[in-house]
Amino acid sequence: MLRVQEIKLSLDEDEKLLKVKLAKKLRISQESILSYRIFKKSIDARKKNDIHFVYTLDVELKNEDKVLKMYSSKGILKVPNVGHKYEKIAPQNIKRPVIVGTGPAGLFAGLALSRMGYRPILLERGKSVDERVVDVESFWHEGKLNTESNVQFGEGGAGTFSDGKLTTLVNDPRSRIVLEEFVEAGAPEEILYINKPHIGTDILRDVVKNIRKTIISLGGEVRFNSKVTDLIVKDNQVIGVKINDEEIIDCDKVLLALGHSARDTFQMLYNKGVEIAQKGFSIGVRIEHAQSLINERQYGEFAKHEKLGAADYKLSRHFDNGRSAYTFCMCPGGMVIAAASEENMVVTNGMSLHARNMKNANSALLVGVTPEDYEDEHPLAGVEFQRKWERLAFIAGGRNYKAPAQKVGDFLKDIPSENIGEINPTYNLGVTMTDLRQCLPEYVIDTLKKALVAFDKNINGFANPDAVMTGVETRSSSPIRIKRDESFQSNIKGLYPIGEGAGYAGGIMSAAIDGIRVAEQISSIILT
């Protein structure tokens, strides 16, 4: 099979023309094309008067070697063999590995180990996704926070209530495994080839359930409401975990897929002597614009074309104050959500349905912070730094889980907002229009101002005076890193920190890939 790049279709051309254009590009008859499939599809919107789709196709031809020889220097190459299938290789009579957490890292580690016959036990402190949705919606509509079942804790992890983005900067062949597993579990097949795949929170909820069912069908076990409250360690080797301060499970392999918000578990690990280091992360706000504005700026006269959908953006800039600002987890046609996991704190995040059909676009607008900003050398100082600003946001919002918000125009003028403008904030518990200086560090305020002006040059209207900034966004990534060696083990043998909470991933894809890598490593360790 050959991989052919740069096949272009206009917005009004049907994909049935791909075969015609493919034959023309290769200068062969259509009859010579035995089959083809889309490997990648992206939108080229660099010229607003010439927006089109660009395809990479995997093609089976009658005379592949001849064609390859003729066009090898023109974006045509052999399709690499990246097929990967896990075999049932687990030895008999081994202790079952325990996985703590069912976010992407935990689920995909569990799936890989299950396919290899290790029958892992997955422990989740929160509830199953259906029960979790009830608790989350109770918080969103009534302000009743369940500290063990919320946007951060429960089946699927924090990503369950997000846009379900599957983009990653990690160049790893396991990316394809993750995408294929998602499709097998019910995600749209298009995620295999579109340039910026996403699932959407509505579909993702069913997908994570189906992954759980697959794990169980392969001999694995998934327990909810099962918080790991202690590690049992002997001679620097983990020999078990304690659940809910009661039950002990004997094991010699524990994968810590905790997620970035398991602060009490971080503390327990620190108390047990697990080596933890401070890590930088980012803090800021959610910014909302009319999705129609973003569409117009990104797609020009084609903004309303049915094939394009809701436009996105990704912006970043380094400034002369030594700080960097960037947009993160942009949610086209989405909403800002309440994402607290501890009482008396306000945390924001973004979420989109698969259709991305709501009126507003939102994105995190963040400023990087470093351990030096924590002003404390304690390994968990970053956690306390997060808590400080989340508490202040709770106070600024009115002490009722409403979020503090401010119009961009007022923010740039250093005056409190008193009312909403043309953009209606979507934060589900409601907002209190105020002054965000009450709940963000001064250097973050300064950098956000610079970013708004700079990004407005990229997207005219980004600094629209009526655009809404809602605070605070603090869970961009984990504020710690649980140290691990080349075998992925911590300083305690048999303890494997994985995923975003451990400081080794940043999003659904990279967390899932990390989970698979560690599962593969464990299988080889067990076998030796």
Q: Which CATH number fits domain 2-78: 3.30.70.2700, 3.40.50.20, 3.40.50.1820, 3.40.50.300?
A: 3.30.70.2700
Predicted pLDDT of residue 454: 98
Residues 6+ apart with CB under 8 A from 83: none
pLDDT digits (tens, 9 = 90+) for 441-467: 999 999 999 999 999 999 999 999 999
Q: Which residues of 176-187 are buried (b: 16+ CB within 10 A; e: fewer)?
A: ebbbebbbebeb
Q: Which two tokens stand for residue 305?
A: 């074309």
Whether residue 85 has pLDDT greater than 80 = no
Mean pLDDT of 69-78: 78
Burial class (CB in 10 A: 0-12, 13-18, 19+), 441: middle
CA distance 253 to 239: 8
Predicted pLDDT of residue 82: 65
The domain made up of 98-277+478-527 has a fold known as: FAD/NAD(P)-binding domain (3.50.50)
Q: Starting from the edge strand earliest in sequence, which strands make up the sheet with 76-78, in order?
A: 33-44, 52-61, 2-10, 76-78
0.85 surpassed by pTM: yes
- Domain regions of the chain by residue span: 2-78, 98-277+478-527, 280-473
CA 359 to chain centre: 22
Pairing state of beta strands 247-250 and 237-243?
Answer: antiparallel
CA distance 376 to 417: 34
pLDDT digits (tens, 9 = 90+) for 212-239: 999 999 999 999 999 999 999 999 999 9
Q: Using pLDDT thresholds of 50, 70 and 90, give the confidence band for residue 67.
A: confident
Predicted pLDDT of residue 344: 98
pLDDT digits (tens, 9 = 90+) for 308-326: 999 999 999 999 999 999 9
Q: Using pLDDT thresholds of 50, 70 and 90, give the confidence band for residue 387.
A: very high
CA distance 27 to 67: 9
Mean pLDDT of 188-214: 96
Mapping DSSP to helix (H, G, I), strand (E, B) and coil, where does residue 184 land? helix
CA distance 334 to 318: 27
Whether residue 76 has pLDDT greater than 60 = yes
Predicted pLDDT of residue 73: 66
Q: Using pLDDT thresholds of 50, 70 and 90, give the confidence band for residue 528.
A: very low
Residue 334: φ, ψ to 5°: -125, -160
- Between the alpha carbon of residue 400 and those of residues 51, 98, 153, 337, 361, the distances in Å are 46, 38, 21, 15, 25
Q: Using pLDDT thresholds of 50, 70 and 90, give the confidence band for residue 479.
A: very high
Q: For residue 472, is the peptide bond before it cis, meaning its omega torsion is within 30 degrees of 0?
A: yes
Strand boundaries in 259-359, DSSP class E: 276-278, 281-290, 316-318, 324-331, 335-338, 348-351
Q: Which two tokens stand for residue 283?
A: 């803090």
Mapping DSSP to helix (H, G, I), strand (E, B) and coil, where does residue 316 land? strand
- Between the alpha carbon of residue 291 and those of residues 193, 198, 528, the distances in Å are 25, 17, 55
Predicted pLDDT of residue 301: 94
